[in-house]
Amino acid sequence: MVTRAHFVSFFPFFFVHAPVFYYFCTSIVNIVHIIKRNFITRYILLALVLLGHQGCDLIEYHPYDARLEGPLHMTASMTARIVEQCAGKDTLRFAHISDTQRWYDETKELVRAINRRGDIDFVIHTGDLSDFGLTKEFVWQRTILNGLDMPWVCVIGNHDCLATGEDVYHTMFGDDNFSFNASFAHFTCINTNAFEYDYSASIPDFNFIKHDISAVPDSISQTIVAMHARPGSEQFNNNVLDYFAQMLNNYPGLAFCICGHDHHTEVLHPFDDGVPYYECGSAKTRTYIVYTLTRDSFTYEAVEI
Amino acid sequence: MKPLKYSLPLLLLALFAVTVSASDWPADDKIRLIAINDSLLTDTPDSVAVEDFDSLQNRSSRYERIVRRYHKFWMGMVPSHIKVQYAGSIGLFSIGMGWHYGGRQHRKWETDLQFGYLPRYHRRTGNFILTARESYIPFRVRLGDNLDIEPLSCGLFFSSIFGEEYWREQPSRYPRKYYGFSTSIRANVFIGQRLRFGIPSSVRKRNNSLTAYYELSASELDLISFSTNRWVSLWDILSLSVGIKFDLF
């Protein structure tokens, strides 16, 4: 049997710590007692929890809490809208924006400029909605980009993978690899931020690309691949460069790839297979690129607002 | 009959000796109270031998002074209050202990150590958050016998979230300054107000006063977003917390 004498001998400082420990325990007992007995306290606590769940902006449990409300799993609904709106069209026109992180004023201006044109079918955002991966940043960007008159989809960027950003992305948008068919064009959006996962995840996911290629319908004459980090960037898994190029070339009519990440607008040819990579600058450069697709050709135009 | 004559007292003596040696004296359920000058102890420290009691009574004993100083130091470490807080970027609920000091009433400054829990929501796991808080309460206004208002409390707090997806410094695989911030540690500033209810000594049980408070805080990352964008309003970055402070003394 363990006696008090044992405890004292094992723990010589017991008599010093005892008042601290005693006070801590009794205070917790006191609090629990108050909550149990006092109805007012209980209702105040209940009211506070409800206040937090009602979406009051002032209540935040942690910057990375991933507590999300409002429209979620948006990739599915947005791609459905794109497919529906573009069905049977002979000319497609889509806008490409990228790296809108922490440039809310500029993003708002981009949204306004794209809306003002009125000829854009949909918008592809090539990653980096958030700068620090904070839940709040995703919500703010969603609020601004939902101001677009047309549907929009977003690829995951390296900053979106920070801390709980990836969980927020998966909840707010959906899978990080997805594809959709708009009339005659096939769009594939893939996660290429291998560096964020320390190359330990299958990024780029060749399994996804393989299955996606086999599922492309015959009516497709052009394919566009969207990613955040281009092949050759420090985020990309550069060990698989050639295989990546080969795999993409299996897509029917691979026209071009679009990317972001480097914060400047540029045309690149990372492989000598004739597939151009169009890189859009960050929102800070106030640039968006408009692509016009027909069944057998395409044109592009970088617009600075 | 001579042996028989002495056997009974011998037997009793032996029984007494066995009883005394078998019993754990002093019995465990009895508390020894020992007064060393002004402090009352419930037990002797192991290091104090019984033969030292004579020297303990000598006020100028060096040993006794050291013990007294040691006690004084550790008694000063006893937390003076406990806080229970809702929200405020440090967890759904957080509980913490703290110390108030400074000023005439020893209530001008407060240091708190808070431990919060953040439920899972859309993350992979729930997380614990440890917070160190320093508050400054420059003045208080007396409203009644047992009611004080503290119109301003301000300060800063650092919170650290535990979990494998958060890092204090960027992992070594990144080039230098690739991400120039920490995802686990947040620095926040806050400003708030408090109402302190004194508990009359006739009904006082454990606490001498209760303080209800609210605070509005902002983290350094949110302040960066706020200062560089007109679109981000102050209400977007502020985080409200409400709580109760239980003062023991």
- Does residue A274 lie in a domain region? yes
Instruction: Convert the pLDDT of each residue in A157-199 to its tens digit.
Output: 999 999 999 999 999 999 999 999 999 999 999 999 999 999 9
Which among A244, A187, A259 has a CA at the least distance from the CA of A210? A244
Contacts of B173 in chain A (CB under 8 A): 195, 198
- Does residue A109 lie in a domain region? yes
Fold type of domain B81-247:
Porin (2.40.160)
Q: What are the helix and strand counts (H, E) for chain B?
A: 5, 11
- The stretch A24-45 carries a mean pLDDT of 65
Q: Is the pLDDT of residue A154 over 70?
A: yes
Exposure string (b/e) for B225-236, b if CB count within 10 Å is 16 or more? bbeebebbeeeb
pLDDT category, A11, cuts 50, 70, 90? Answer: very low
Question: Min CA distance, B103 vs chain A (Å)?
Answer: 24
- The stretch A234-261 carries a mean pLDDT of 96
Task: Give pLDDT, residue B64.
Answer: 87
| Interchain CB distance below 8 Å, B87 and A16 | no
Question: Min CA distance, B6 vs chain A (Å)?
Answer: 39
- Does residue A253 lie in a domain region? yes
Q: Are residues A218 and A296 in the same domain?
A: yes
* CA closest to B220 among chain A residues: A63
Q: Residues near A160 by Cβ (< 8 Å), separated by ≥ 6?
A: A127, A128, A129, A130, A133, A138, A166, A168, A169
Q: How many CB pairs under 8 A join A and B?
A: 147
Listing DSSP states for A195-232 in one string gives GGGTT-S-SS-HHHHHHHHHT--TT--EEEEEESSPTT
Task: Give pLDDT, residue B33.
Answer: 58
Q: Are residues A170 and A30 in the same domain?
A: no
Residue bearing the bigger pLDDT, A53 or B247: B247
Q: Which helix (H) or strand (E) holds B206?
A: none
Q: Are residues A159 and A29 in the same domain?
A: no
* CA closest to A18 among chain B residues: B78
| Interchain CB distance below 8 Å, B173 and A24 | no
Read off the CATH number of the domain in which A297 is found.
3.60.21.10
- Does residue A231 lie in a domain region? yes
Task: Give pLDDT, residue B25.
Answer: 47
Helical pair A39-53 and A14-37, crossing angle rounded to 10 deg: 80
Task: Give pLDDT, residue A246.
Answer: 96
Sheet of strand A266-268, all strands in order from the earlier edge strand to the far edge: A178-182, A185-190, A222-227, A254-259, A277-279, A266-268
- The stretch A230-257 carries a mean pLDDT of 96
Task: Give pLDDT, residue B41.
Answer: 59
- Does residue A61 lie in a domain region? no
Q: What is the rounded distance in angstroms from the CA atom of residue B20 to the CA atom of residue A39? A: 56
- Does residue A58 lie in a domain region? no
Tell how strand A298-304 and strand A287-293 pair up: antiparallel
Q: Are residues A187 and A143 in the same domain?
A: yes
Contacts of A3 in chain B (CB under 8 A): 24, 28
Q: Are residues A179 and A209 in the same domain?
A: yes
| Interchain CB distance below 8 Å, B124 and A167 | yes
CA diameter of chain A: 90
Distances (CA, A) of B17 to B4, B13, B23, B26, B30: 20, 6, 10, 16, 21
Q: Is the pLDDT of residue A266 over 70?
A: yes
Q: Are residues A250 and A169 in the same domain?
A: yes
Contacts of B239 in chain A (CB under 8 A): 58-60
Which of A40, A44, A61 should one mutate to test binding to chain B, selecting the residue with the greatest count of B CBs within 10 A? A61
Q: Are residues A41 and A80 in the same domain?
A: no
Which pair of tokens denotes residue B4?
A: 């028989």
Q: Which domain holds residue A43?
A: 4-53
Which pair of tokens denotes residue B109?
A: 């400054």
Give the rounded percent of residues in chain A with a pLDDT score beyond 90: 81
Contacts of B90 in chain A (CB under 8 A): 62
Contacts of A35 in chain B (CB under 8 A): none
| Cross-chain CB nearest to A15 (options B41, B236, B248) | B41
| Cross-chain CB nearest to A104 (options B24, B186, B231) | B231
Residue bearing the bigger pLDDT, A252 or B18: A252
Q: What is the rounded distance in angstroms from the CA atom of residue A11 to the CA atom of residue B45? A: 10
Would you say A127 and A261 are in contact if contact means Cβ atoms under 8 Å apart?
A: yes
pTM score: 0.80
Q: Are residues A121 and A267 in the same domain?
A: yes
Would you say A175 and A106 are in contact if contact means Cβ atoms under 8 Å apart?
A: no
The complex's ipTM works out to 0.80
The DSSP letter of residue A256 is E
Q: What is the rounded distance in angstroms from the CA atom of residue A135 to the CA atom of residue A187? A: 27
- Does residue A256 lie in a domain region? yes
Residue ranges per domain, chain B?
21-75, 81-247
Exposure string (b/e) for B175-196, b if CB count within 10 Å is 16 or more? eeeebeebbbbbebebebebeb
Question: Min CA distance, A87 vs chain B (Å)?
Answer: 34
The set of long-range contacts for A174-179, using a CB threshold of 8 Å and a minimum separation of 24, is A174/A73, A174/A74, A174/A75, A174/A76, A175/A75, A177/A205, A177/A208, A178/A75, A178/A79, A178/A153, A179/A212
Q: Is the pLDDT of residue A43 over 70?
A: no
- The stretch A215-221 carries a mean pLDDT of 95
Residue bearing the bigger pLDDT, A18 or A295: A295
Looking at the structure of chain A, the number of domains it has is 2
Residue bearing the bigger pLDDT, B209 or A22: B209
Contacts of A68 in chain B (CB under 8 A): 121-122
Task: Give pLDDT, residue B51.
Answer: 47
Would you say B207 and B199 are in contact if contact means Cβ atoms under 8 Å apart?
A: yes
Count the neighbouring beta carbons within 10 Å of the beta carbon of residue B210: 16
- Does residue A62 lie in a domain region? no
Q: Are residues A33 and A145 in the same domain?
A: no
| Cross-chain CB nearest to A61 (options B84, B92, B222) | B92
Q: Are residues A27 and A120 in the same domain?
A: no
Task: Encode chain B (249 residues) as per-residue pLDDT tens digits.
Answer: 555 566 666 667 776 665 555 554 444 454 555 555 555 555 555 555 444 555 555 556 889 889 999 999 999 899 999 999 999 999 999 999 999 999 888 899 999 999 999 999 999 999 999 999 999 999 999 999 999 999 999 999 999 999 999 999 999 999 999 999 999 999 999 999 999 999 999 999 889 999 999 999 999 999 999 999 999 999 999 999 999 999 998
Q: Are residues A262 and A160 in the same domain?
A: yes
Question: Min CA distance, A147 vs chain B (Å)?
Answer: 14
Q: Are residues A254 and A131 in the same domain?
A: yes
